[in-house]
């Protein structure tokens, strides 16, 4: 979820691509309520211990993200709602 309603999902996506090492495989927008739109991102990670911790830390480090949750994982990627 964006930190503020004025922050667009595309801004979050660009911030994550430019300021972190995350590789975003795909993304989509999901309307929440009252004009809030969540970004659903499919992030590719290495298959090593601690990879999800690195993904979560990268997302937490974005000044545009208010909160997020991991909604699915696989050996290929992790899908998170921001």
The predicted pLDDT at position 81 comes to 73
Give per-residue burial for 55-70: e unless 16+ CB within 10 Å, then b: beebbeebebbeebee
pLDDT at position 14, please? 92
Which residues in 1-82 belong to E strands, given as ranges?
23-33, 36-44, 69-73, 77-81
Per-residue pLDDT of the chain (82 residues; tens, 9 = 90+): 788 888 999 999 999 888 777 888 899 999 988 888 889 998 888 878 888 898 899 899 899 999 998 888 876 666 777 6
Task: Report d(CA 40, CA 32) in Å as an integer.
Answer: 12
Q: Where along the chain do its domains lie?
A: 9-81
Residue 52's pLDDT is 86
In this prediction, residue 28 carries a pLDDT of: 93
């Amino acid at each position: 979820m964006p930190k503020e309603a004025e922050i667009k999902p595309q801004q979050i996506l660009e911030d994550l691509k430019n300021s972190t090492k995350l590789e975003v495989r795909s993304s989509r927008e999901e309307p929440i309520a009252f004009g809030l739109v969540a970004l659903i991102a499919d992030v590719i990670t290495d298959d090593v211990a601690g990879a999800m911790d690195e993904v979560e830390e990268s997302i937490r480090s974005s000044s545009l993200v208010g909160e997020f949750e991991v909604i699915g994982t696989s050996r290929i990627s992790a899908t998170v709602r921001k």
